[in-house]
Amino acid sequence: MSGRLIESLATTPALAAMFSDESVLQAMLDFETALARAEARCGVIPAQAAGAIAAAARLDNFDICALSDAGFRAGTPVIPLVKMLTDQVRNVDAQAARFVHWGATSQDVADTAMSLLLKRAESILIGDVKRLEQALADLSERHKGSVMLGRTLLQPAPPVTFGLKAAGWLSSVRRGRRRLQKTFWAAAVLQFGGASGTLASLGDRGIPVAEALSADLGLRNPPAPWHAQRDQLAALICSSGVLTGSLGKMARDISLLMQNEVGEATEPGGDGRGGSSTMPNKRNPTACSLTLAAAHRVPGLVASFLSAMLQEHERGVGGWQAEWPIIAAAVQSTGVAIASMAEVAEGVSVDTQKMRLNVQNTNGAIFAERAMMLLGAKLGRDVAHKILEAAARKSTEEGRNLSAVLAEIPEVTIHLGPSELEQLEAPEQYLGSAENFRKALIAESDREDNDEN
């Protein structure tokens, strides 16, 4: 039964296809086919048997609904899959049917199939996140001089640049991508251990078969089977959670900047994108909402996976059986967040005039810190803070610029002349090290990427 309508906001078309019933079944069949080929090469089973198994392991030979129903009763879809595959092989070669799934266990199939899916999913996720990184780097450079309000606790604060804000998003996303790549590499590996993780059924051929199998599937062969050791998969899910959180922070910022009363940035639009079913005037933060939805889902998935790590002895009961839906949902949620923010970064509209207007509309209140530091050097910080606190209150109550109020206070004018007060509210003159920090974030990201290469 398809769940595409329910999952339509939680994945991308490419990842939905990656984790579809057909794709999962194909990955399991790929394992069984590769196992037969590896065992034939190592002299464990006849080459003729491997050929018959490969010929029978075709998608159109299997009823996915029947397989799913039988898997529910068996506790794993692998048991009915092996039975169905054996029946298919027997129809062609009764002798070859004896060698289906030879020396393997159900978890070998399930875990290796997931590793194959993860390896394929990695290229999708990393491709999209690199698009996002490039778009953010371009956005940061383009807006390195675009002055805007800083906002702390959602209130106006001294100015920053949009270029610095974009560089901050970029640095967090790049760190998250590197973590994700490392954990994909560690998690997407072969699982082949047989009944108790010793490959005892294959005698002295176990390790050669594992090496041949990993080579056939294009998966790294770990030092030993890892049936009940789920830390590497857990690290992948955790890194997905961290990256999705970083993307959610970016989405939160942009959705707030899109509010009509702020109006400093707008997501790209287009047919069917960002509209309302009742309000034709609206431009909704659709991509941001998809990302924020993912950022809400993934932490719970991380917690669920971590709780499933408590697996007993050599094979857990209920732990690894919980993992497939968690892994699929976490990877797809991370993927939809990456793809959504890549679309935003590549097409976001930035209104620099509105940014400057919003700075001006504070009537200079955001420069109270600057005035306090100037006066503090003459009067002491405590005295200057009290003067500025009273001046800022008067500025707000009377709707006048802070500099105009300060120009009426003798304790101020004795130390700050007309030219200093006139320049007090020039945002470009109170950006501190913003550009240095922006460049440092960009350079750090580029340097670490070059070091990895």
Domain boundaries, the chain: 1-104+195-222, 106-189+226-360, 365-424
Distance CA 174, CA 136 (A): 10
> Which residues are designated catalytic?
276, 315
Tell me the fold of 1-104+195-222.
Answer: Fumarase C; Chain B, domain 1 (1.10.275)
pLDDT per residue rounded down to tens, the chain (453 residues)? 456 788 889 999 999 999 999 999 999 999 999 999 999 999 999 999 999 999 999 999 999 999 999 999 999 999 999 999 999 999 999 999 999 999 999 999 999 999 999 999 999 999 999 999 999 999 999 999 999 999 999 999 999 999 999 999 999 999 999 999 999 999 999 999 999 999 999 999 999 999 999 999 999 999 999 999 999 999 999 999 999 999 999 999 999 999 999 999 999 976 655 554 444 445 789 999 999 999 999 999 999 999 999 999 999 999 989 999 999 999 999 999 999 999 999 999 999 999 999 999 999 999 999 999 999 998 999 999 999 999 999 999 999 999 999 999 999 999 999 999 989 999 999 999 999 999 999 998 666 666 665
Residue 442's Cα: distance from chain center in Å?
A: 20
Q: Are strands 349-350 and 265-266 parallel, antiparallel or unpaired?
A: antiparallel
Homologous superfamily in CATH for domain 106-189+226-360: Fumarase/aspartase (Central domain) (1.20.200.10)
| Predicted structure pTM score | 0.93
The residue count of the chain comes to 453
For 401, half-sphere exposure in the C-beta direction (CA atoms, 13 angstrom radius) is: 15
Distance CA 185, CA 115 (A): 10
Dump strand ranges (E) for 225-383.
265-266, 349-350
Distance CA 408, CA 399 (A): 15
State both tokens at 260.
């009509």
- Give, rounded to a whole angstrom, the gap between the first and last alpha carbons of the chain: 44
Tell me the fold of 365-424.
Answer: Ribonucleotide Reductase Protein R1; domain 1 (1.10.40)
Distance CA 150, CA 158 (A): 5
